[in-house]
Structure 1
């Protein structure tokens, strides 16, 4: 019943838009457009690429609805961005969908396809969750200087690993890739490494298959991702998957709770990590787990302390070059709540292999 009442409120608005946008303010007659004059579009080419945003302003407004209606009656050429109900065509329901966003009945931006947290299985067998396109305020004014200034970032939608890559998954990758020398990727000689090489086969050590792979370098993380068609998430993608459109302080909300992640005051059975996905109460808005704690996670970006001062607002890729690579999420090794904030940044040389470093994958397809 509530939905019926809301649609009833929007329909009169559609009628007004039809009258104003298609006929003109005076309804025809003297002062109107000459019958044989070429129609002049009331919208400009879309810039933002958001469904319904025909004028490229980034927000829904009446001129967008007018633009959709002009397409419907043939005054303007077809435009895929006008498809607001995601049915592959342009009709009156698209104008209604746009206007529902305008008056606050439905969320903006309009997204077609998967919903936040929808799942798919990747080529390596891991579960990925959908992070829809959108904007958020990246960074923090309460944190370290390299987290400033807070700035708006807009991202295309992408898939991200629900969990960190495990020892089982990484061992399977090594058996497929068969590198001549694994030492630059994974420090298998370290007693804390959860992957071992036995009789010509890589395998997870007993009972450690579901734990996150550690002692992996940035190069080892990239090699895994590229083998399966993934990429490491950028810092912006990582923070958005953790914090969401509301820019949460922690993946689960505003307040620090050490019981919701693996940290130095809440370690796993071996005084280190937990099996991935062990903290469902710490889940992020898009369904990603362990975004705080367990292991720090390599990101694709070169790290630059002042990058936020020059970062582009659309799909920022990170610095053009540098000495260290970005790392996010922190680990069982840390205990300060402030270090588990979604906006907290770390960096290490890409060759480094520590028992508190791991990674998760992203897929932009």
Structure 2
């Protein structure tokens, strides 16, 4: 883990997506954070020690999902597959619910984590991340902690390394190159996840804070409040948190399932779609939804 001293920073951004507004000054207490996302090897150690079963390995209860076809009420998870032609971004077709897909079989039956033990673990639900953190004696970061750490000391910069996506043509993170979702030019050599220390660390010595996999935070999703800018250091909000749980399973609107904030973007973020490979970027993820591009890392809140 790396130690992050207490400090203040500009959280959010005004020049990208609406959910990141407004840019505001906040401060956080000191904490430790994992150098990398939790890897397949680390998660396997947790499973071996506890016998824990992840959400993707458990068949959903049809009573919780009105309208779910019985044949789909089986253990599985969403796996990305490249589109063959033009797509309607309003109705994405690049996700396939694949029966048998989970953290140990990331592409479904017949796949495994052999040879990718040092890649971030994926197909992780929020409860799975919480269970690992509790076992490890850690916790999930708040959105503010995560963003402060991701910035690496570069206050207000667009990216974790500055204001240029690929300075001097150098790739700084694992993201999509080409026309998403049908043409990945693989300029960085990776179609899916990459080893957790493939790219240079940020100013805090942290790897993969941007791209590779989205990462869960402990905060419930809410739109940031627009408040007056503080006039002094004493007025800067300390250790801000997200919204309340809200939402519920609803027969008329499954979109109301509670959501947590995810940060960092993933290998599926692209210049033509979802430019969320930035510290300020955020996404509302249903707590029961697992995919092939969602992982996590942990923190410990204590002084050096």
Give the TM-score, by structure 2 length: 0.68
2:265 and 2:276 in contact (8 A); partners too: yes
User: Residue 51 of structure 2 is aligned with which of 174, 178, 186?
Assistant: 178
User: Residue 248 of structure 1 is aligned with which of 147, 157, 160?
Assistant: 157
Do the aligned partners of residues 173 and 341 (structure 1) sit closer, same or farther apart at CA in structure 2, a change above 3 Å counting? Answer: same
- Work out the CA distance in 1 between the residues paired with 2:214 and 2:23: 22
Task: Report how far residue 270 of structure 1 moved.
Answer: 6.1
Count of residue pairs brought into register by the alignment: 228
Per-residue CA distance 1:126-146 (angstroms, 9 max, x = gap): xx1111100001111102222
- Work out the CA distance in 1 between the residues paired with 2:130 and 2:57: 9
For 1:159, the equivalent position in structure 2 comes to 32
- Work out the CA distance in 1 between the residues paired with 2:228 and 2:49: 40
- Work out the CA distance in 2 between the residues paired with 1:245 and 1:222: 29
For 2:120, the equivalent position in structure 1 comes to 212
Give the 5 Å matches for 1:64-75.
none
Give the 5 Å matches for 1:1-365.
128-179=1-52, 181-183=53-55, 193-195=102-104, 205-243=113-151, 244=153, 246-257=155-166, 259-265=171-177, 266=186, 271-280=191-200, 283-307=201-225, 309=227, 313-322=237-246, 323-336=258-271, 338-365=275-302
- Work out the CA distance in 2 between the residues paired with 1:357 and 1:287: 22
Higher percent of residues as helix:
1
Give the TM-score, by structure 1 length: 0.58
2:142 and 2:241 in contact (8 A); partners too: yes
Where does the alignment leave 5 or more consecutive residues of structure 2 unmatched?
59-75, 78-97, 106-111, 178-185, 230-235, 247-257
Task: Report 1 or 2 for greater relative contact order, CA contacts < 8 Å, sequence distance ≥ 6.
Answer: 2
Do the aligned partners of residues 340 and 270 (structure 1) sit closer, same or farther apart at CA in structure 2, a change above 3 Å counting? Answer: closer
Per-residue CA distance 1:220-258 (angstroms, 9 max, x = gap): 111101111111111101110011362322111111117
Do the aligned partners of residues 158 and 217 (structure 1) sit closer, same or farther apart at CA in structure 2, a change above 3 Å counting? Answer: same
Do the aligned partners of residues 193 and 344 (structure 1) sit closer, same or farther apart at CA in structure 2, a change above 3 Å counting? Answer: same
SS in 1 for 2:276: helix
Cα RMSD for the two superposed structures = 2.6
Do the aligned partners of residues 131 and 264 (structure 1) sit closer, same or farther apart at CA in structure 2, a change above 3 Å counting? Answer: same
Where does the alignment leave 5 or more consecutive residues of structure 1 unmatched?
1-127, 197-203
Structure showing greater radius of gyration is 1
- Work out the CA distance in 2 between the residues paired with 1:236 and 1:207: 34
